[in-house]
Every structure is written in structure tokens, then in C-alpha cells.
A and B are shown apart, each in its own frame.
Chain A
């Protein structure tokens, strides 16, 4: 293995920031990958500019005219359902002079009108009103050329809407690969489907986006980082274990942890803190799932928790309850996070209340666990300044070799090893560092 000095991080492709050696059983990531504005710029262009990105869930905009404005990959967008019920995704910029067209974060409208010169666009993108149009030649042609700009690719899987700024990406299902199956498992939990609810956690962390991905794919941190949460569960009568839990490389950077020992699952695996009423309902709910889906599929959905990472910006937490987390990198050291509670459509009010209370007690910046994860990302982001341009260049690498010997023997990687992080970093390197394949 070559040791490299990275005075020019993200430089030539030979000088990879990800070093893997199956003889020495080492896997290292150069810390400039988290620090460097130049690396961040490459990521924005080569990842966010050229792959499918999770935008939002269809149930966020259930009615014709519903919209959300949302920034993805640094680009302001409008995510809306047009008057005929079709999902539309537009760049949120007036085609006239580029003004932010929609300055509300959400709402319902038939038209988006720019305040600057009063151009108005229908919710399917037509330029519907052009004040003083007698001063333009060929008004119909002009209007057609100045439709709202649609994001080149929009597609959805199980209600999860993805977009691509690059028209030439492969189909969404090709991109999702094996991850599609696990999204489908989660989507089948509710007999009437699944939906987001209002009450979106919007927060921002002073850490690189890849630290948030690593953290979600890293079962090794759970016991020490979440010591107090594990203690809380123990007091409620649930003993956390890391035994027999595994991590899966789903290809193309997607990763999965399947967890059986961290928590119960509302409606599926009872634990004492859910209460006695929920215990009985869990039995009935399992029967409902078996009747609807067959016992094998019901068991696959219900018996284990899953943390699914869909490269590059979606984390689906199917744990005690469900949370969709979207990662939006802002700069090398800052990441915006958006999290939606994901619930069964039509479930009883008391179950909904239990689900939200339970999930919020774990996740989010006010939970009993996520703040310690945030502390970890932020402490890494601060700590990696220490070894930048250090006397010995070897000090400026982070180690992710845990479990490589086991993996080399052909065994399934454990959740408490670092295999899922390695598969993420391999995809990252292919995307960001390989100059030959900037797209696809």
C-alpha cells in the first residue's frame, strides 16, 4: 500500500482517498475526504449531479395542487402534484430572470406566480400568464420556450419519489437494485399503505454528510455511543444485544443492517415499553399480515428491524417505528437533515400516538439517542483538523478495517463490523475519483 500526502486532496485518480488492501487487511479513508472543499465540489457535481436522489414521498403531497419547496443537491426545487394529479418536479426559478418562483415551503395552488414581473405558471409548468405580452414576438412560441424547467428525470418506487438532474441515468429500479426489495418490505407493513405525517424534523449538523452515512451503517458504535439509551431500554425490560446481526452490501453503494436485538417493532415485535394493549394488537396484526402477505413474507417484514441506506441521500429506518431521513450536503463541514415519521395509513389513534412517541424518543436532535450520534459526527469533523498536513502523513487516515479478516473467509459481515461502510466508500470512490466514468 502506498502512503500518500494529500496537499491537493481529490487530485489525480491514482491518489485515491480510499485505500483498500486485502493482503494487509486494511481499509483507510483519507480525512481530507471529509474536510476538503475541492472534494465537496466534486461530490456535488459527480454524485448529486449524476445519480438518482431521493426527493420526497408521494403522501407529502396527497391532493392536486399540493406542493413542497425543497432544496436538493443545492438546487431549489418545487415538488408538486398538478391539477390532474400527476407528480411534477420543477426547478424553483422563474424562467424569465431566475427569481425564486415559490417562496413558501408548502401549500396548495393552481398557479405559481413570480412576484417580480408577475409571470404565472400552472402547476403543470405552462407559462399561463405573461403580463404585457404584446411586447414579445411570437407569443405562443415564447411561452412554450419559457415553460417551467422540469427536473430531467422523475420516477418513484413504492411512493418514494426520486429525481435525477442527469437525463442519462439508468432506470430508477436499476439504480435501486436490491435496495428496492427492502423498500417494498417496509411499504407493505400497513394494510392500507404507508404515509408520511406532518411534523418534519429539520435540523443541520456541523459534520460532513458521509459521517451521517457511516454512522447509520455502523453497528459498532451502538453500545458505547448509545449507552444511556441502552440503559433506558434495560430499565423498561428490554435487553439490547448485538448477537447475530448482519450488514449487507446491496451494491452501488446501497447498504443494509438487519437488526434483531436493538428494539421491538410496533405492531410486529412486542417489547414491554409498548404496553399491554399493544401486546395483544401485535398478535392480531401479525395474523393480518400473514393473511394478506403469506407467512414467509410477513416474517421477513416483521421479524427484524432494518436500516436501509440508498445511495446517496436516503436513510430508511424501519425500527421500533419508521423514519425517512434525507441528507442534504451544504458544504464539506455542514449537512442539512430532514426526517419524516412514516406511519401506517388508517391505523388507530392510540397506535399512531405510541408510534410517534416511541420513534421520537430515539431519533432526531431531541431524542434520547440521535444527539449522541450528532455529537459523534461533529466531534469527528472537529477532530480531523488535528492531523491535516501532519508530520507523518499516515496519521491523516481513518481506519475502517474492522471485520475484514472475517469477510475474507467468506462470512457474512456482522452489523458491528465495518463492511457496510466499506461498500459505501468503494462506491463513493468510483463516483468521485474515477475520471473515466463521471455519469451513469
Chain B
């Protein structure tokens, strides 16, 4: 039995809030959405459900690496994101996949428009997150982004948080 049941609305609020933080580059607040030891993955476009520890990935960050990534992205020396891209995130099709004792599995679709250097890039995919359920909210245990594209389009790097 879970400590409490997480509604789709609560999961949506969490994801919308995160999208706002990321679009506004409020990365310290975003980092606080992870539990201690939380992880982040971005799978490659050939992903077939395999464990990220046994196959290549675009991102495979443990908590220390997420912190390093945030620190990097806040630096003026993160050249790929200086100046920062403008991003605009749309999140929909939110589904509670499974509620466990401590965690809830949430899936959602995303479309992220990114603009930089007078160019536009579109990233399409879905999230499959594992969230820890606390009395006062949700925290990432695993934040996983799964691109739907067949490959990253020309110029469409992953220098930001997908």
C-alpha cells in the first residue's frame, strides 16, 4: 500500500512546475526536485527498453553528475548554452502507470521547442519517471526522457535538460 494515492492532477502539477523551472532556467530549484541519490537518463533513439547501465545513452547521470551538470549550465563557460537556449515545453498525455509502496511511475508526452542562433529545433518524446511520494510532494528517483525522433536532427544537441 502506498503512503497515499497520487492523482494524475498532482503528477501533472509536478511536471508543469518542472517545465516552468526549466524554461526559466531556474536550475537550483529544479535540482531540488530530485531526492538525494536521484538519477537522470536520456535514452538513445534506438532504445529498446534495456537497462541504462548495460547500453549506451545520451545522458546517464547519477546525482553527482546532475549536480555537476547544473553547476556547468550556470557557468558562462558552458559554451553550448551561453547564451542559454530559449525552450518552450508542452507536456501532455500524463498517465499514472503504477503506484508502489514508496514510489509512483508516471508517463507523459513532451514536445520541447528550442531556439538558438536564429534556428529552431523540436524535440519530441515521452517521459517515464519514477517519483518518490512524500507527504509534502513528489521527488525524482529516476527522471527518464525517451526521445521519439529517429536521431537528433542537425544542430539539435542535448546541451539543455530534455
Contact = CB atoms under 8 A, between A and B. Distances in A.
Interface stretch (A49-57, A202-210, A432-440): A202-210
Contacts of B119: 206
A200 B157 contact: no
B53 A361 contact: no
* Residue picked from B43, B153, B159, most chain A C-beta under 10 Å: B159
A103 to B, nearest CB: 12
Interface in B99-128: 117, 119
B113 to A, nearest CB: 17
A347 B73 CA distance: 34
B158 interface: yes
A360 to B, nearest CB: 5
B42 interface: yes
A105 interface: yes
Given A375-B79, A375-B80, A198 B159 contact: no
A366 B54 contact: no
Interface residues of A, number: 46
Interface in A101-115: 105-106
Interface string B43-73: 1111110101111111111101100110110
Contact of A199 (B46, B72, B78, B153): B46
* Residue picked from A340, A368, A376, A378, most chain B C-beta under 10 Å: A368
A339 B45 CA distance: 12
A352 B54 CA distance: 6
B151 interface: yes
Contact of A376 (B45, B78, B79, B150): B79
A378 B80 CA distance: 10
Contacts of A95: none
B77 A227 contact: yes
Secondary structure at the B interface, as helix, strand, loop or mixed, is loop
B152 interface: yes
B97 interface: no
Interface string A25-63: 000000000000000000000000000000000000000
Contacts of A201: 44, 56, 58
A205 B72 CA distance: 22
B54 A197 contact: yes
A334 B154 contact: yes
A203 B52 contact: no
Interface residues on B, range: 35 or more
B87 to A, nearest CB: 15
A382 interface: yes
B9 interface: no
A413 interface: no
Contacts of A204: 151-156
A203 B119 CA distance: 17
A352 B53 contact: yes
B117 A382 contact: yes
Contact of B55 (A330, A356, A367): A356
B75 interface: yes
Nearest to A355: B53
A229 B68 CA distance: 9
A371 B80 contact: yes
A227 B79 CA distance: 9
Given A227-B77, A232-B72, A361-B60, A197 B55 contact: yes
A349 B158 contact: no
Contacts of B56: 197-201, 339-341, 356, 360
B151 A357 contact: no
A360 B57 contact: yes
A353 B53 CA distance: 4
Given A202-B151, A204-B154, A361-B61, A349 B53 contact: yes
A99 interface: no
B150 A202 contact: yes
A114 B61 CA distance: 42
A367 B53 CA distance: 16
A203 B157 contact: yes
B46 A105 contact: yes
Contacts of A334: 154
Nearest to B159: A371
A350 to B, nearest CB: 8
A82 B152 CA distance: 31
Nearest to A232: B68
A231 B155 CA distance: 26
Contacts of A229: 72
A436 to B, nearest CB: 36
A429 interface: no
Contacts of B65: 357, 361, 368
12 contacts: A199-B57, A204-B155, A204-B156, A231-B77, A349-B54, A356-B55, A357-B60, A361-B65, A365-B159, A371-B80, A374-B80, A375-B79
9 tightest CB-CB pairs across the interface, nearest first?
A: A199-B56, A353-B53, A199-B55, A366-B158, A202-B151, A371-B80, A203-B152, A366-B58, A371-B159
Interface of A: 105-106, 197-206, 225, 227-229, 231-232, 235-236, 273, 330, 334, 336, 339-341, 349, 352-353, 356-357, 360-361, 364-368, 371-372, 374-376, 378, 382
Interface of B: 42-48, 50, 52-62, 64-65, 68-69, 71-72, 75, 77-81, 117, 119, 150-159, 162
